[in-house]
Amino acid sequence: MYTIQTLNAISPVIYNHLPQEDFTVSKEAAQPDAVIVRSASMLEMELPGSLLSIARAGAGYNNIPVDKCTAAGICVFNTPGANANAVKELVLAGLLLASRDIIGGVEWAKGLKPGETSVAKQVEKGKGQFVGPEIQGKTLGVMGLGAIGVLVANAAEALGMKVIGYDPFLSVDNAWALSRSIQRSNSLEALLEQSDYVTIHIPLSDKTRNMIDESMLAKMKPSAALLNFSRAELCDGKAVAAALAAGKLRRYVVDFPTEDVLNAPGVIAIPHLGASTPESEDNCADMAAKQTRDYLMTGSIRNSVNLPACELAPAEKHRISVIHKNVPNMISQIAAVMGQANVNIEHMVNRSRGDIAYTVVDSLDDVPADIAQALSAIEGVVRARSIC
């Protein structure tokens, strides 16, 4: 029986993958085997020794202390693509809001009152102040061609926009998903210079924080609009506000309002609605629960942000997993411990990711109860466990 702690209200679809006969799901679990979290911050939390995995029901994971988890042998998952369609739809709305002054027109229309001049005549007289260009035929630059970026690029192309993308780490799967007519830019600077609209779809990290700063904004057309549906910190808010005030940027549509841009002219601030759809919440919860179940019960890893991918079928009899440093001689030491315990290795898988590695051993022999303890004693082993 495994115990799962939920740190936010999580869609009940998780129970499709966490049946009561195998899992106890609770908000108050003191020694959980796994955590499923949405937006709650775990950065200052004390991580219990029992914790094997954390699944973030969403794409971003800056509310989880990933380095601390890796050092403790805790697998951290996210759910890339689960909310991609929801974000894509809001980005398309953002494109239209940035192009035509729809919000200004709606607010103006609220103040219309019948009088000497009919409402219809007032509308015809006043609507000209809210004129804006069409997006068809304009150039959209997409920063980041992951699950969301690909959907946005394809949808914008279908609406008649010219689309260019920039992603130095474009995966083969995402490349296959892109429409043929979408052009790839060789540099971010070139993308910014050519685009009438720029939409950001990259993860936040120390390297990407404030990526769009004063120097990058200076490369954009003064008539351009910038859309940020990824993370506020990807843009230097003060630099964006200054560019808008100086007429060097026309619009900034952001799903993460901050003090720097909230009341700046030209800003359309949306209260983090990108993934706020029932379908998205269900999709994220479903993926998070499935990944949690598979890791706890089989050791299979998919969509981990700190451990190597290692998709596994269920073990035939016994399985032991070992998280260890990616250094020479680890496999031979693991095999030696298994041999000393008189356990024959039927099948072994080893995967690595930077400084960390993951080794899974299957055996048809009976496995001593203390085998995980013996493996943990090897220098360089972070965590070992008997899965079944």
Known catalytic membership, residue 353: no
Those residues with Cβ within 8 angstroms of residue 101's Cβ, 6 or more apart along the chain or in another chain: 129, 130, 131, 132
Q: Are strands 381-386 and 318-325 parallel, antiparallel or unpaired?
A: antiparallel
Cα distance between residue 340 and residue 87, in whole Å: 53
Q: Which residue out of 100, 272, 302, 353 is catalytically annotated?
A: 272
Scan for tokens 């690595």, then name that residue. 352
Known catalytic membership, residue 184: no
Indicate the helix (H) or strand (E) that contains 105: helix 102-110
- Asked if 168 and 198 touch (Cβ cutoff 8 Å), the reply is no
Q: Nearest CA to 231 among 259, 254, 262, 206?
A: 254
Cα distance between residue 50 and residue 34, in whole Å: 8
* Half-sphere exposure of residue 205: CA atoms within 13 angstroms, side-chain side: 8
Scan for tokens 């230097």, then name that residue. 236
Those residues with Cβ within 8 angstroms of residue 47's Cβ, 6 or more apart along the chain or in another chain: 65, 68, 69, 72, 74
182: which DSSP letter?
P
Q: Which residue out of 231, 251, 318, 319 is catalytically annotated?
A: 231
- Asked if 34 and 294 touch (Cβ cutoff 8 Å), the reply is no
Known catalytic membership, residue 134: no
- For residue 1, the tally of other CB atoms under 10 A from its CB is 8
Q: Which residues are catalytic?
A: 231, 259, 272
